[in-house]
A and B are shown apart, each in its own frame.
Chain A
């Protein structure tokens, strides 16, 4: 009767007395794409875990009605049985198994009880891949031979194989570049045409306005409002206002009181070859310079070579046959190890904080001081513990890491606070040049703002800051100058006055054409 496929009514969920969800209501119409927005820790994932049975029936209050009947899921399997599939941000694929095996993982195609029918598995896998636009992939190839974007699509194919009716995507594009994201969103629209209902959790509001028919905003465990496309104001500013509960007049704080000084960081004729393949050149003749107090962006598509550039400069942490010169504060420096880099006042705030940035079982203090320790917090190899505590405490307050104390284990912090710890770790090495690689990936709007403030503070202190980001508005909003990198080369340089998303893409496209042109001439 009702056209709602899902109604979650008055959901309240407590964790040892703390209400993570407080009387939350969510109504999703059949066949629509419904976005769920909210800052980190607002309760989006908790709500989805209630829906999918991760928190079993009885541990929460309220009703989950699916297709008009009240559901009592006791685990994931129960909800999957009903056609509800959730795809988490961390992919649940087994990297060394083949695509076909992954698509039917836990849902194997059997010829008789317990025996896998491989022909059927491969055939059906091919069908599923066609539905997500991957018909050209070899189903026998191991999943780890694909990029993250395609792996995400494999997850969707896996859901399709389970006869999904309601697909929940938790930050599906967090690890994807703009092009891959676009492809995934288009697949979502295609699924919608096939009658599949989607719930998407995302921080990227431009994506939401692109695909979603309705947005429900959650803040501090409560439903704030649901906006419907074509009925309500659906603009990004409107959604942000609902998320943070105030008008965020400027997503990027204004940088004031900065005096731009001399060039203090210079990389010339930087060439790097692939670590596994000495014949494959990853970076070609890169030239970059940054002045004191300047914030410079490296824009480009994923795989363009930005992270590779940063890592190869940062103590040859990537690549082989590296050539070129690096000048810091006007002097040419030889940086062959990370230690050399730290000693020469170069810092690299790594992307992917969980795998490259943090010791998740260590505490905040330990993580903050690890890189600066040999130089600033020890004497002949013996640590000065009290100095460390004071420094960690100072930075915790200074960049507002929300934690009980500096002894809290980093793994228990939210993404935004983890990112702040990584930032503090590198600020503590007292660098003159900082490279920030994806400094705000997967963190909420409020925490992003705080990180931008730290970037401004660094600029004011006369540091040279390089920001690598896949979110173009962020690069445009934070940087004084932008280098566009494409296929391992500088495709262009834009000042903040002339830059726009279109300009950046034009740079990339023009560079691609030039490349093709060169190719023809050679052949």
Chain B
């Protein structure tokens, strides 16, 4: 039987490699400060909401648009949760449902104007951005509301159950180690299954050494990451939320009819329409979804801060948009991946984190982040041009 071989697409891993390189650079600059268990934990907790927003934003970017309103919706939903708990003295479940409902409503509001009245998304979401922020200030009377109840704060700052043992000069959480083992087994199993399927259908396979190297790096990162978390305080609850959302959305975008319809719409709206895709419906749900994810991010943020503030989420839309572009999504729409957006979000996160540890001010951080965004997209565009 003829054996087909195909090299792994390096571009697919380019941003991933860049992520590692940036991380190592800051490891060197800060003398390893960003390698500490506590810092790894902080990376997850500080970037949780940007990752959540980037996931939703990717869908908007796939349609060839953006949602400028997410920062405001984050604040509005956080504020609603705070008001329900503090002013109306209701329990946290009611607060969570209220926040999600408001996110859903804002999303549907924007989606309705975009999909059924054909108002450009840029304009609609610019409006929701202004309206959302104004509404938040009004609702909170420009005051910070807090402290929020501890069981609510668990969402943003809590950890999953642990089983700690003494290990070396500190402790080790066996639950994290256990999860790492499961993740490793799952990863290897998935790779083997994919190879098996490819063989069955006689598809091209990557050379064995490349597959082994790829698996090796992935396993190393998993173990590095979970070991560090195990040495600190176990698995943050935010990590669980992130992993679940990434899993769901990666599945939806690659393996479902609805997900592929978004790509088809972004690639050519007219052709998508004439292929039986209700593009208005796609637009509506993409922006509605963004509203709900903004609400989740709003809950996580307010829970981590332990308070609802009117300034919450300021500029988050830009971080989320930048994450998508850094992660390789096309500005014109139709191309990009959830994993790319997540990696993009972590690139931003590691930059923020590293520069803070290094002692650079937020002003300088903005300059660097801007330059990285421009650089990443430039490299992406140029490499695509070279191909043609």
Contacts and interface: CB of A to CB of B under 8 A. Distances in A.
A381 B256 contact: yes
B263 A366 contact: yes
A362 B255 CA distance: 16
Contact of A370 (B255, B275, B334): B275
A388 B260 CA distance: 13
Nearest to B335: A361
A348 B273 CA distance: 12
Contacts of B60: none
Contacts of A412: 388
A412 B335 CA distance: 16
A81 B271 CA distance: 40
Given A359-B268, A362-B334, A385-B255, A317 B273 contact: yes
Given A361-B334, A366-B263, A385-B255, A374 B203 contact: no
Contacts, number: 80
Given A374-B257, A386-B197, A348 B267 contact: no
A371 B276 contact: yes
Interface string A344-378: 00001010000111111110001000110110001
A110 B278 CA distance: 49
A203 B260 CA distance: 37
B268 A381 contact: no
B330 interface: yes
Contact of B264 (A317, A370, A381, A390): A370
A109 B148 CA distance: 70
B142 to A, nearest CB: 45
A11 interface: no
B388 A338 contact: no
A361 B267 contact: yes
Contacts of A327: none
Contacts of B260: 366, 370, 373, 383
A355 B268 contact: yes
A405 B197 CA distance: 18
B274 A317 contact: yes
A45 interface: no
A389 interface: yes
A359 B201 contact: no
Contacts of A383: 255-257, 260
A171 B232 CA distance: 69
Contacts of A355: 268, 270-271
Contact of A386 (B201, B263, B273, B275): B201
A381 B257 contact: yes
Contacts of A381: 256-258
Interface of B: 197, 201, 203-204, 255-258, 260, 263-264, 267-268, 270-278, 330, 334-335, 388
Given A348-B274, A362-B264, A386-B201, 18 more contacts: A338-B277, A341-B276, A350-B271, A355-B271, A356-B271, A356-B274, A357-B274, A359-B272, A359-B334, A360-B268, A361-B330, A366-B263, A370-B277, A374-B257, A378-B256, A381-B256, A381-B258, A382-B256
29 contacts: A337-B278, A338-B273, A338-B275, A338-B276, A338-B277, A339-B276, A341-B276, A342-B276, A348-B274, A350-B274, A355-B270, A355-B271, A359-B263, A359-B334, A361-B330, A361-B335, A362-B267, A366-B264, A370-B260, A370-B277, A371-B275, A373-B260, A378-B256, A382-B255, A382-B256, A389-B201, A389-B203, A390-B201, A405-B204
Among all A-B residue pairs, the 6 with the closest Cβ atoms: A359-B267, A338-B276, A371-B275, A359-B268, A339-B276, A342-B276
